[in-house]
Structure 1
Amino acid sequence: MEARGIVKRYGPTTALADGRLTVLPGESHALVGRNGAGKSTLVTLLTGLQAPDEGTVRFDGEAAPPLADRDAWRRKVACVYQRPTVVPELTVAENLFINRQPLKRRFISWRRLKAEATELLDAWDVHVDPEARTADLKVEDRQMVEIARALSFGARFIVLDEPTAQLDNREIERLFSRMRALQESGVTFLFISHHLQEVYEVCQTVTVLRDARWITTAPVADLPRAALVEAMAGESLETIAEQAVQERIVDDTAPVLLDARGLSSESFENVDLTVRRGEVVGLAGSSASGKIELAESLTGLHTPTSGTAQLDGKRLPFGDVQAALNAGVGCVPRDRHAQGLVIGMTVGDNATMSVLDRLGRFGFVGTERKRAVATELIERLDVHTEGPDQPVSDLSGGNAQKVVMARALASDPRLLVLINPTAGVDVKSKESLLARVDSAREDGTAVLVVSDELDDLRRCDRVLVLFHGRVVAEHPAGWRDHELIASIEGVDHGYSISPGDNPRTPGPEGGSRGD
């Protein structure tokens, strides 16, 4: 695939001013850049969803098909998005051959459908039951089903858009192993990720976009991580790190705001948890550890089978999100698309929907009051937007996540629960979001951070590790990567982890996933 001189405008906004990309057969090519750099726009053009205003896109040396010829595009390229494009209530087989089911006397032949699905899955070594309901699949298996569906049309160029955002370390390793096997079978990948270590692990070439322009294309092996960050951000890694450094002093005499005792459910067992005023506590563990379910219980999404929790001396309600909000809980949920945003509404509507009762009387919302509060939140979170009336769907991933954070902070919560708060955002947006954690700490808020990212957990005063639903370790600030990873993976603390034992293979400069 080759794209040259790509320009795309949306009204007065230039989403791409100089897009360039050349992907060679059989390689995994990384496309990186900050949120708003133009990556998503370029993908929409490469997959035929829109046409560029200027420039050309070519596949195998030939001009891209007309936009209306969808079958021709499917034979050239497919994109597996962070959000699923399968129909969850249909089976795997039905999703693989949707709108092209084998027929017998004008009726669907279910026997042939299952047989052809099984043959397709076996051909690409995808170990999934063709009769399984797609909604019941793990994320990694759903992604492989989408890849298999794309390959069945004849496409050998697959775009993976943030494929690891919802996977834990072991699932990521399995995905990468499958990618390497598919490469050996002649499949080419364009890999989009904000996790730079993943670029070094699975890609051979990287292209950087910044401010809607092509910056560089280089072999991954020839581009040190510091140089890659500088190309993406326009400033050095050292500068970004210096901006993030703040001295933290934990007040052991501060009152306990959150006090949870004996919490149990199907996902976790007998968990005791305390968070003091102005303290940031992290929860770490694999996707099956129960950490997310525990955090979501505190926000009112689930009801534990036993145990109690108090927030600032008052009983915390379970199973009622509105009651938890009224009790003083603010939340950034794990999936901003499905849980964090109302896509059809504006930035201002999304930022203020949790505090509408403060913006008017007798059930009416004051328009000017709402605009003023929304504008203040936009400025506070440094949301790059045209204003509170801009549709939230127009924002980049990093700015959309800032809107979710703004809403969580709008109610001045006593407990702030952040679940994967920096998933799918670039390095600068990540630092901006994590800076809000420091601000909340200074304001005396109790903060609970649940994340798979070691960088997110470094901001914490201590980190609790869950393994199979139980708290197995507590690490004070200053922990080392291998210590935390050992706890997450259930390794006996008496054994040290060598680089070869690390579940993520170190890349250039000895980096790990947390770097």
Structure 2
Amino acid sequence: MAEHGAVLLEARGIDKSFFNVKVLDGVDLTLRTGEIHALLGENGAGKSTLVKILTGAYRRDAGTLRLAGEEIEPLSVAEAQALSIGTVYQEVNLLDNLTVAENLYLGRQPLRFGMVDRRRMRADARALLARYGLDVDPDETLSAYSVAIRQVIAIARAVDLSGRVLFLDEPTASLDAREVEMVFSILRRLRAEGLSIVIITHFLDQVYAIADRITVLRNGRMVGSAAIADLPRRDLVSLMLGRELEAETHRRPVEVAVDDGPAAFRFRNFGRRGSVRPFDMDIRHGEVIGIAGLLGSGRSETAFLLFGIDKADSGTVEIDGKPVTLSSPVDAISHGFGFCPEERKTDGIVADLSVRENIVLALQARRGWARPIGYRESLALAEHYIKALDIRPPDPERPIKFLSGGNQQKAILARWLATDPRLLILDEPTRGIDIGAHAEIIRLIEKLREEGVALVVISSEIEELVAYASRVVVLSDRTHLRELTGDEINAATIVNAMAMAAGEAA
């Protein structure tokens, strides 16, 4: 692919630490005039930190920034905007209660005799919106319009404020395919006009549809940068995961038995617009369904649907051959479902409650608050699971916030085991815990499978899935792309499948 224009924005050797933890380590980024540049990486790679440095929200610890060859030092977002560098975040930073025109010119309204010149502001807004092909009433409140329209309005404001460089953080996360194409058509138009755009996204299909160049961060370092034509999907996924597939096959160490009986849980055409495309899934007693995919592929969204946190807008659910409704987690719990979320500190534990109180929460929810669990019963339950799972320290009255991450995770697992679950959904159950707790949780997953519990386990640790999964469902761009069984379940096949677009080999 031919190069685009001259180098416009350069970052060289960027370092940044928080509380003595280095989050960026010598990162480079080169952005050319009139190109769309995808900045990619898994959670914790350092993407957002780098963007905040480039847009004035953070100060770097080391390194240099140059704009059109001149060294710059933006000390605030306003200073970055004055240097022609704008940003649109995933959560559109506009005000729904103001009009479209007021949002476009907030903080810089045209004045006449010391008062806001609303007539001129409306006219300017109409002219600006026409540039983006939007037939939008500038006097209408922003809340009247879809997320996609609001996203374009935010882009219009940012470009009008800056005009040379635009950073977009997950601009299509909440959009459907038609809305994505509307936004992309505008980005292509802006690129043709010479604007330089950096887009952060987890959707690989979209990267290959819109980007000219890709830079990949991993663990705070830049691990690769290339023109889109020179970086096949398979190589891109390898860069993001840090795995050389030719040297790593990781076939399962033991054959995992698969129950060939009827499925206890059947999901058909199950999906939610803007979250996960409709999928089919059968889950049998005593098997582990592994869920693999890059961040943003729809892994956690699948878990939210299965547990009723997000309500599906298509499809059906059957349990033991009988149709059921999953409108909420209460419905899911009543049918014997349990769920351990990825973000245990914010979504899992109730930090100020004791270990005992955290363990009995789900059982109390199943029984209903009209039948409270007494102290003696809750203490007996807590002590049983503290011993069974080796939760340390073994103090049921200790506030759970004072436990290590691994012991917090075991307490959340205990919460669901106390309900005698039929289906247990685990989202990244071993992330961020010590080696000892990690091994204990893997053993617990295997023990539950042997006892006949059905499990759905989401993990970015591919070797774990290879070791214990009966089947592995691979997701890409919100789509359940492929189901692997038997000898297909190895690291190379899983990562190759992750690198595919829907229906298209890498």
TM-score by length of 2: 0.62
Structure 1 509/367 Cα, relative in aligned 2: closer, same or farther at 3 Å? closer
1:58 is paired with a residue whose SS is strand
Structure 1 297/6 Cα, relative in aligned 2: closer, same or farther at 3 Å? closer
Structure 2 residue aligned with 1:391: none
Q: Does the aligned pair in 2 maintain the 1:226–1:236 contact within 8 Å?
A: no
Q: Does the aligned pair in 1 maintain the 2:405–2:433 contact within 8 Å?
A: no
Structure 2 residue aligned with 1:201: 209
Structure 1 242/329 Cα, relative in aligned 2: closer, same or farther at 3 Å? same
Match of 2:478 among 453, 473, 488: 453
Q: Is 2:28 the partner of 1:17?
A: no
Query: For residue 29 of structure 1, what is the amino acid of its counterpart?
Result: H
Structure 2 residue aligned with 1:228: 236
Query: For residue 254 of structure 1, what is the amino acid of its counterpart?
Result: P
* Residues 10-409 of structure 1 mapped to structure 2, 5 A cutoff: 10-68=18-76, 70-73=78-81, 75-104=83-112, 106-237=114-245, 251=259, 253-254=261-262, 256-257=264-265, 276-277=284-285, 278=287, 299=308, 311=319, 321-322=329-330, 324-330=332-338, 349=351, 356-358=358-360, 362=375, 366-367=397-398, 374-376=405-407, 378=409, 381-384=429-432
Partner Cα separation in structure 2 for residue 440 and residue 76 of structure 1: 50
Structure 1 residue 281, shift from structure 2 partner = 12
Structure 2 residue aligned with 1:494: none
Partner Cα separation in structure 2 for residue 352 and residue 435 of structure 1: 31
Q: Does the aligned pair in 2 maintain the 1:79–1:158 contact within 8 Å?
A: yes
What's the CA shift string for 1:388-432, capped at 9, x where partnerless? xxxxxxxxxxxxxxxxxx9xx9xx9988899xx8xxxxxxxx643
Structure 1 residue 167, shift from structure 2 partner = 3.0
Partner Cα separation in structure 2 for residue 152 and residue 87 of structure 1: 17
Q: Is 2:461 the partner of 1:432?
A: yes
Partner Cα separation in structure 2 for residue 385 and residue 159 of structure 1: 34
Q: Does the aligned pair in 1 maintain the 2:95–2:103 contact within 8 Å?
A: yes
Partner Cα separation in structure 1 for residue 248 and residue 33 of structure 2: 36
Structure 1 residue 383, shift from structure 2 partner = 1.7
Structure 2 residue aligned with 1:502: none
After TM superposition, the structure 1 stretch with the greater mean CA deviation from structure 2, 101-110 or 59-68, is 101-110
After TM superposition, the structure 1 stretch with the greater mean CA deviation from structure 2, 58-67 or 320-329, is 320-329
2:32 is paired with a residue whose SS is coil
Q: Does the aligned pair in 1 maintain the 2:40–2:202 contact within 8 Å?
A: yes
Structure 1 residue 355, shift from structure 2 partner = 8.0
2:229 is paired with a residue whose SS is helix
Partner Cα separation in structure 2 for residue 60 and residue 295 of structure 1: 46
Partner Cα separation in structure 1 for residue 83 and residue 452 of structure 2: 51
Partner Cα separation in structure 2 for residue 415 and residue 151 of structure 1: 51
Q: Does the aligned pair in 2 maintain the 1:453–1:514 contact within 8 Å?
A: no
Partner Cα separation in structure 2 for residue 192 and residue 135 of structure 1: 25
Structure 1 159/104 Cα, relative in aligned 2: closer, same or farther at 3 Å? same
Q: Does the aligned pair in 2 maintain the 1:260–1:308 contact within 8 Å?
A: yes
Partner Cα separation in structure 2 for residue 214 and residue 58 of structure 1: 18
Partner Cα separation in structure 2 for residue 372 and residue 300 of structure 1: 27
Partner Cα separation in structure 2 for residue 434 and residue 114 of structure 1: 58
* Residues 408-419 of structure 1 mapped to structure 2, 5 A cutoff: none
TM-score by length of 1: 0.61
After TM superposition, the structure 1 stretch with the greater mean CA deviation from structure 2, 114-123 or 164-173, is 164-173
Q: Does the aligned pair in 1 maintain the 2:289–2:456 contact within 8 Å?
A: no
Structure 2 residue aligned with 1:392: none
Structure 1 179/276 Cα, relative in aligned 2: closer, same or farther at 3 Å? same
1:458 is paired with a residue whose SS is strand
Partner Cα separation in structure 2 for residue 353 and residue 452 of structure 1: 38
Structure 1 residue 145, shift from structure 2 partner = 1.3
- Kindly name which structure, 1 or 2, has the bigger radius of gyration based on alpha carbons: 2
Partner Cα separation in structure 1 for residue 355 and residue 193 of structure 2: 50
What's the CA shift string for 1:106-132, capped at 9, x where partnerless? 554444433222211112334444344
Gaps in structure 1 of 5+ consecutive residues: 262-270, 283-291, 388-405, 422-429, 462-476, 479-507
Structure 1 residue aligned with 2:440: none
Query: For residue 21 of structure 1, what is the amino acid of its counterpart?
Result: L
2:97 is paired with a residue whose SS is coil
Partner Cα separation in structure 1 for residue 470 and residue 44 of structure 2: 29
Structure 1 residue 96, shift from structure 2 partner = 1.5
What's the CA shift string for 1:426-475, capped at 9, x where partnerless? xxxx6438967996868xxxx99998534x442489xxxxxxxxxxxxxx
1:367 is paired with a residue whose SS is coil
Structure 1 97/41 Cα, relative in aligned 2: closer, same or farther at 3 Å? same
1:194 is paired with a residue whose SS is coil
Structure 1 residue 101, shift from structure 2 partner = 3.1
Q: Does the aligned pair in 1 maintain the 2:400–2:408 contact within 8 Å?
A: no
Gaps in structure 2 of 5+ consecutive residues: 1-8, 270-278, 292-300, 362-372, 380-395, 411-427, 436-444, 490-498
Structure 1 residue 39, shift from structure 2 partner = 1.5
Number of aligned residues:
411
Structure 2 residue aligned with 1:484: none
Q: Does the aligned pair in 2 maintain the 1:16–1:213 contact within 8 Å?
A: yes
Q: Does the aligned pair in 1 maintain the 2:355–2:398 contact within 8 Å?
A: no
Structure 1 residue 49, shift from structure 2 partner = 0.2
2:461 is paired with a residue whose SS is helix
Partner Cα separation in structure 2 for residue 294 and residue 15 of structure 1: 29
What's the CA shift string for 1:449-504, capped at 9, x where partnerless? 998534x442489xxxxxxxxxxxxxxx99xxxxxxxxxxxxxxxxxxxxxxxxxx
Structure 1 81/149 Cα, relative in aligned 2: closer, same or farther at 3 Å? same
Structure 1 165/414 Cα, relative in aligned 2: closer, same or farther at 3 Å? farther
What's the CA shift string for 1:144-191, capped at 9, x where partnerless? 111101011133211122333333333333332221111111211112
After TM superposition, the structure 1 stretch with the greater mean CA deviation from structure 2, 156-165 or 295-304, is 295-304
Structure 1 300/509 Cα, relative in aligned 2: closer, same or farther at 3 Å? closer
Match of 1:8 among 6, 9, 16: 16
